[in-house]
């Protein structure tokens, strides 16, 4: 993928970024790196290299690519959950690269469709990341160097353009401290799990599953709109929260949490959210199962079940 570095006006910042990305592509033979760089190039309006990437890798590499990208998304999600400072910064930069790849792939044939759920989960977690001042400063510098402001806006995570560190968030919180937060409205009472048993194999008992399923009811908003909701606990410790209502209503769902555990939406309709406790220890699993599920809407209304 050679190019002429003098093909564009050297004073044009977009052209300079295009040339820099093309040089980076020429300097690597790693399929994942090429894929991410060509997606970034497409975000600057140069689509052809991305459209040509399938012909630039072997069949074996193409076969392995979805699983490698899924694993990469999972690693970044874990890093976002536990990192601060430069590690959090690095995780968010990688999340930005993968988000850009997701958007561009959806525009060009969905060749990576198997990875899209992992991309969407990563996008959701990245959107909830809380930055410390160091991470926010580093992201601001990197976004400026990469000229994220010149990229297709759909390809850029909001945090890259508006990074707010702890100090800035504290200032915002102080300014808005006079506002009363909306109370949490109880949809169903919290189930009681006293004496509920867990199988020796580490699976939740049927009694626990049935008790968990009592979390179902009707959410009634202040504007009169309604949506039914139910929660399900599976034997493998997967938890799903399902909303049965108009698509426009479901798109108002901002976040869903089980205690401290963040659920992620299955797709853009946002009517099915899930999380998993499978990787946690038994004590954490049984503790979280008894925590409230909180549903927050974009207008600030909150509901618990």
pLDDT reported for residue 44? 94
pLDDT reported for residue 105? 92
Average pLDDT per run of 10 along the chain, which is 305 residues long?
47 86 90 92 93 83 88 89 85 94 91 89 84 84 87 88 64 53 84 64 83 92 92 92 91 85 80 84 78 87 90
Residues 187 and 185: their CA atoms lie apart, in Å, by: 6
* Helical H segments across 8-84, by residue range: 13-26, 31-43, 48-52, 59-82
pLDDT reported for residue 219? 93
Look up residue 153 and give its DSSP letter: G
Task: List the domain boundaries for the chain.
Answer: 13-168, 184-304
pTM over 0.95: no
Token pair belonging to 14:
């977009």
Neighbours of 88 (CB within 10 A): 23
Token pair belonging to 66:
């979805």
Q: What percent of the chain is helix, strand and coil (3-state, nearest 5)? A: 50, 15, 35
Token pair belonging to 281:
């220890």
């Amino acid at each position: 993928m050679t190019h002429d570095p003098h093909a564009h006006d050297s004073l044009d910042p977009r052209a300079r970024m295009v040339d820099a990305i093309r040089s980076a592509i020429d300097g690597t033979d790693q399929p994942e790196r090429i894929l991410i760089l060509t997606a970034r190039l497409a975000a600057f309006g140069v689509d052809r290299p991305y459209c040509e990437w399938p012909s630039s890798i072997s069949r074996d590499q193409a076969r392995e690519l979805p699983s490698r990208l899924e694993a990469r998304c999972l690693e970044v999600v874990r890093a976002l959950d536990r990192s601060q400072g430069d590690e959090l910064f690095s995780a968010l930069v990688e999340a930005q690269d993968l988000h850009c790849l997701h958007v561009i792939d959806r525009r060009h044939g969905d060749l990576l469709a198997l990875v899209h759920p992992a991309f969407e989960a990563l996008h959701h977690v990245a959107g909830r990341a809380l930055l410390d001042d160091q991470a926010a400063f580093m992201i601001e510098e990197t976004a400026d160097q990469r000229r994220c402001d010149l990229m297709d806006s759909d390809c850029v995570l909001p945090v890259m353009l508006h990074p707010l560190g702890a100090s800035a968030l504290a200032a915002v919180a102080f300014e808005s401290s006079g506002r009363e937060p909306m109370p949490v409205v109880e949809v169903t009472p919290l189930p009681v799990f006293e004496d509920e048993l867990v199988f020796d194999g580490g699976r939740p008992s049927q009694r626990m599953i049935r008790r968990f399923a009592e979390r179902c009811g009707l959410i009634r908003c202040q504007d009169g709109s309604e949506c039914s909701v139910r929660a399900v606990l599976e034997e493998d410790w997967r938890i799903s929260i399902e909303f049965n209502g108009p698509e426009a209503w479901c798109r108002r769902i901002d976040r869903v949490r089980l205690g401290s555990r963040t659920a992620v939406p299955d797709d853009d309709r946002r009517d099915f959210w899930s999380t998993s406790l499978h990787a946690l220890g038994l004590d954490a699993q049984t503790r979280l199962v008894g925590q409230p599920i909180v549903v927050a809407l974009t207008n600030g209304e909150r509901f618990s079940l």
